[in-house]
Amino acid sequence: MTDQELHDLVVKISDDYFKKPFRHKAFFNPRLRTTGGRYMLRSHNIEINKKYFEQLGEDELIGIIKHELCHYHLHIEGKGYKHRDKDFRDLLKRVGAPRFCSTLPEERKRKSRQRIIFYQCTSCKLIYRRKRSINTIKYVCGKCRGKLAKVKDMTVE
């Protein structure tokens, strides 16, 4: 699918589901990594992550477009366009748009193999479990202010 085909699809979905025109640009952004799409407040353009179309298909792409069009139309009308706003949640339900996009298969693999690091206080023996390593010189035990020592580093599936 090209950027022009994506733009035409966004215009069609806007007309069919929202009964309003889409007057800005819609295109694929290869730099998007953690989200399916993005509505730009200043330019009113919509950017879509092409990986979601390639890995999850056209139905997922249509859901992402509907979600971003909810942001677009509500922002243009001056209504609540943010995820927590009632206007936004109501419009999502009305057009059948998902609140969040699905997780990519490659992200599921990465999330299933998580690194866990255990630290233990040398004074009170309290164990801390962390996903990221911490500077044991800078940080101390929250309970007794004792020194922390790295106990174990493991990968969990």
**Residue 90 and residue 119 in one domain:** no
Helices (H), 14-84: 50-56, 58-77
Please count the other Cβ atoms lying within 10 Å of the Cβ belonging to residue 6. Answer: 21
Q: Give 59's DSSP letter.
A: H
Give how far Cα 53 sits from Cα of 8, 61, 96, 101, 113, Å: 15, 5, 18, 11, 25
Residue tagged active-site, from 68, 77, 106, 157: 68
pLDDT digits (tens, 9 = 90+) for 106-150: 776 666 667 889 999 999 999 999 989 999 999 999 999 999 999
pLDDT digits (tens, 9 = 90+) for 28-76: 999 988 899 999 999 999 999 999 999 999 999 999 999 999 999 999 9
Number of H helices, E strands in the chain: 5, 6
pLDDT digits (tens, 9 = 90+) for 6-20: 999 999 999 999 999
Confidence (pLDDT) at 147: 96
**Residue 15 and residue 77 in one domain:** yes
**Residue 78 and residue 59 in one domain:** yes
How many CA atoms, within 13 angstroms, populate the side-chain half-sphere of residue 6? Answer: 22
Residue keyed to tokens 């996009």? 101
What is the residue type of 100? Answer: F
What is the residue type of 1? Answer: M
Q: How many domains does the chain have?
A: 2
**Residue 84 and residue 55 in one domain:** yes
Domain residues for the domain of 118 are 113-156
Residues at the binding site are: 67, 71
pLDDT digits (tens, 9 = 90+) for 141-153: 999 999 999 998 8
**Residue 17 and residue 93 in one domain:** yes
Residue keyed to tokens 């202010």? 145
**Residue 90 and residue 122 in one domain:** no
Tokens representing residue 57 in the block: 């298909």
Active site residue 68: yes
Q: Is the pLDDT of residue 157 over 80?
A: no
Confidence (pLDDT) at 111: 61
Confidence (pLDDT) at 112: 60
Distance CA 89, CA 83 (A): 7
Q: Are 40 and 47 in contact (CB under 8 A)?
A: yes
Coil/strand/helix, residue 74: helix
Residues at the binding site for Zn(2+) are: 67, 71
